[in-house]
Amino acid sequence: MVKEHITLTEAWEILRSYVPHEPCVESVQVAQSFGRILSSDVIADRNIPHFNASAVDGYAILSKHTAGATPATPVTLSNGFQWVNTGMPVNSDYDSVLMVEDSSIINNELIITKSLTAGENVRPIGEDVSIGQVAAKMGDEVSPSLAALFIALGFSHVPVYRLPRTVYIPTGDEIITASEWLSYEEAPYGKTAESNSAMITGYFKNWGFPIDCVDTVADDPKQICNALESVHDKYDLALIGAGSAKGEKDYTSCVLKEYGEIFFHWLLMKPARPTMFGRYKDCCVVNLPGFPMSSAAALWSVAYPLLKILHTGGFDEDSVLSEALCSYGEALPMPLIMAHSSPAGKTEWVRLKAVELDGVKTVYPLSSGSSTMWAIAEADGVAVLPESRIECQKGSEINVYFTRNIEWKKRILFQGSNDPAFERLGSFVKKYGGELVTRSVGSLGGLAALSRGEAHLASCHLLDGKSGKYNDSYIEKMRGEEKWERILLFWREQGIIVIKGNPQNIKGVEDFARDDVSIINRQPGAGTRVLLDYMLEESKIRPDEVKGYYCQSITHFDAANRVAAGLASATIAIRVAASSELTFIPITVEPYELIIPEKYLDHKGIRALMRAIEDSEWRAQVEKMGGYRWEK
């Protein structure tokens, strides 16, 4: 019976009930056993130490010969003692060891200044581990120190659970293998790199499980079936990349319905809804959706728990996701800097960025879809919001699995106007001992974030149409009682970006009202949108006369890309966004200012930033980008 549209908890129950609980075991060399899980107790059949060993450097001696010895009343012995180094045997003529510090040798006689008891400074046979003792327990992971213990106990091999064998089968007509992809000078039109296997391989490496990847299979049930047929008897688990979707494109499920079995399909989860679990003959099959974040979520939530079952017979619900994510420990409750809406009735995977603000460690969601790869790589951690969690207010706590070590005291959060030259500052801030995290929310958004205490610094380039001056009036309005430091970082050229050669002959904003012209605008609050609004007003054009006025991007590059992609005729952006396929028509030069509340000036990260903006290497990079000036 296929279960459909089920929760993750239900999926885990199905995994547990459909998979044989008796894991396979094997014997491996201790030197190869790091990270493996013991399949039974290891009982010592040697003692450690296996002889009475000296615990110090000194003289083996009979304790009764030291009776009454003190520095004031030393005892002298002419024979009946023997030098031993630490770790050397104390033979049966002796019952203790006098430390070298408590003795001296004068005329071949031993001068003893301390009285010993029997057994003193001797590590007796079996002190560390005795024959018959449980030296390590079934289920223990072989740690570095346990491997050393096994060697010392004389074990060359130890019994461990066999690792599950996995194969990854990418599918998709548009997908080409990484090696072919990397061989092209330019990315071939309409094709996509098979990059998921790099991510999946990386996770398997971190988990300590082996995986093989086979060549990409076309979107064709027959070929998928052939691929499964050729691998099923060599692997415990086949992961199929993509190949499951709505409607007639549901290839993998066709194959399993006819030649195997499906246990569940469609999860109440975002992303990774199309995840499927079934089997082909004796091989478990998990279908991972194709988009990177969906693939990752299915890998973490379904493939990893399944691997744990195949490996050791089960998994711990409290820690399985933390392990799957290679997280630094358990999920920690962290307050959200800003509100987040989660879909009702679905488990949601949220990528998060972390920052400490005014002594409180907080997180905010990286807003991006399941198709984006960058946000997974950029995230500091992940939260798994349960089906019941819908509205997360600002300040409410969510449980975060951190996937990266965070140096909280170094990190500063920038919110403000998007600028590529500013972004390049990151590695220079790092060089001077800080860490810069940037969030593009536009000039007004940045000032508002500062005034709400949600950032360490902001930037703006806001033209006040009334005064004709930049920034002053906006800052005055937003800063309240706080003192804000202003730093004029640089001047930037703003202009109109059009298709290369300007085929529509756009000369200025006045052309934006033309019937054959459409634009991409920036989001409300962006300085660039404020500039456009000012120029439209000057030209006496109303926004609803401009096609595309309400289509918006949040970065200069994104806006320019949409023009290059033919989705609009023009946009307003800075010169650096005009790639070789675009033409830049200059309009104005504007000041780009950094705004830093005075209370943060002594922050480690801000201090690093102040040094970074003076760095000549960064300045050289900015000059090379073009469209920037240090002086007006």
Site string for a copy of itself, 230-259 (x = CB under 8 A): ---------------xxx-x----------
Question: Binders of a copy of itself among 537-596, rule CB under 8 A?
Answer: 548, 551, 555, 557-558, 561-562, 564-568, 576, 579
- E strands within 442-569? 458-460, 484-499, 519-522, 552-553
Question: Binders of a copy of itself among 177-206, rule CB under 8 A?
Answer: 178, 181-182, 184, 186-187, 189-190, 192-193, 195-196, 198-203, 205-206
Site string for a copy of itself, 260-299 (x = CB under 8 A): ------------------------------xxx---x---
Taking alpha carbons only, the member of 429, 431, 400, 432 closest to residue 412 is 429
Q: Residue 396: what are its φ and ψ, rounded to 5°?
A: -75, 155
CB-nearer residue toward a copy of itself: 263 or 422: 422
Q: Which stretch binds a copy of itself (CB under 8 A): 162-170, 417-425, 452-460, 593-601?
A: 417-425
CB-nearer residue toward a copy of itself: 75 or 138: 138
Site string for a copy of itself, 487-506 (x = CB under 8 A): --------------------
The letter for the amino acid at 466 is: K
CA-based radius of gyration for the chain: 34
CB of 152: closest distance to a copy of itself in angstroms?
A: 4
CB of 480: closest distance to a copy of itself in angstroms?
A: 33
The letter for the amino acid at 586 is: P
Question: Binders of a copy of itself among 427-446, rule CB under 8 A?
Answer: 427, 430
Distances from the Cα of 525 to the Cα of 462, 472, 522, 537, 563, angstroms: 9, 16, 8, 17, 21
Whole-angstrom distance, CA of residue 577 vs CA of residue 334: 36
Q: Residue 427 in contact with residue 441, Cβ under 8 Å?
A: no
Q: Residue 353 in contact with residue 406, Cβ under 8 Å?
A: no
CB-nearer residue toward a copy of itself: 276 or 475: 276
Question: Which residue matches tokens 């029997």?
Answer: 118
**Residue 344 in contact with a copy of itself, rule: CB under 8 A:** no
CB-nearer residue toward a copy of itself: 50 or 257: 50
Q: Which region holds residue 376: left if phi is over 0, alpha if psi is between -120 and 50, else beta?
A: alpha
Taking alpha carbons only, the member of 262, 243, 171 closest to residue 213 is 171
**Residue 126 in contact with a copy of itself, rule: CB under 8 A:** yes
DSSP states of 281-297? TTEEEEEEPSSHHHHHH
Total number of residues that touch a copy of itself (CB under 8 A): 135
Question: Binders of a copy of itself among 141-160, rule CB under 8 A?
Answer: 141, 143-152, 154-156
Q: Which stretch binds a copy of itself (CB under 8 A): 221-229, 231-239, 253-261, 316-324?
A: 316-324
Whole-angstrom distance, CA of residue 50 vs CA of residue 131: 10
CB of 205: closest distance to a copy of itself in angstroms?
A: 6
Name which position in 36, 65, 123, 461 contacts a copy of itself (CB under 8 A).
123
CB of 222: closest distance to a copy of itself in angstroms?
A: 18
CB of 282: closest distance to a copy of itself in angstroms?
A: 25
Cβ atoms within 10 Å of 515's Cβ, excluding its own? 6
Name which position in 10, 13, 180, 219 contacts a copy of itself (CB under 8 A).
219
Taking alpha carbons only, the member of 393, 397, 414 closest to residue 360 is 397
Question: Binders of a copy of itself among 64-93, rule CB under 8 A?
Answer: 85-89, 92
- E strands within 443-581? 458-460, 484-499, 519-522, 552-553, 570-574
Q: Residue 185: what are its φ and ψ, rounded to 5°?
A: -65, -45
**Residue 28 in contact with a copy of itself, rule: CB under 8 A:** no
CB-nearer residue toward a copy of itself: 208 or 465: 208
Q: Residue 411 in contact with residue 403, Cβ under 8 Å?
A: no
**Residue 57 in contact with a copy of itself, rule: CB under 8 A:** yes
**Residue 632 in contact with a copy of itself, rule: CB under 8 A:** no
Q: Which region holds residue 474: left if phi is over 0, alpha if psi is between -120 and 50, else beta?
A: alpha
**Residue 25 in contact with a copy of itself, rule: CB under 8 A:** no
CB of 371: closest distance to a copy of itself in angstroms?
A: 6
The letter for the amino acid at 308 is: K
Site string for a copy of itself, 367-386 (x = CB under 8 A): --x-xxxx-xx---------
Name which position in 24, 31, 344, 360 contacts a copy of itself (CB under 8 A).
31
Whole-angstrom distance, CA of residue 429 vs CA of residue 449: 21
Tokens of residue 529, six digits? 């949108």
CB of 161: closest distance to a copy of itself in angstroms?
A: 13
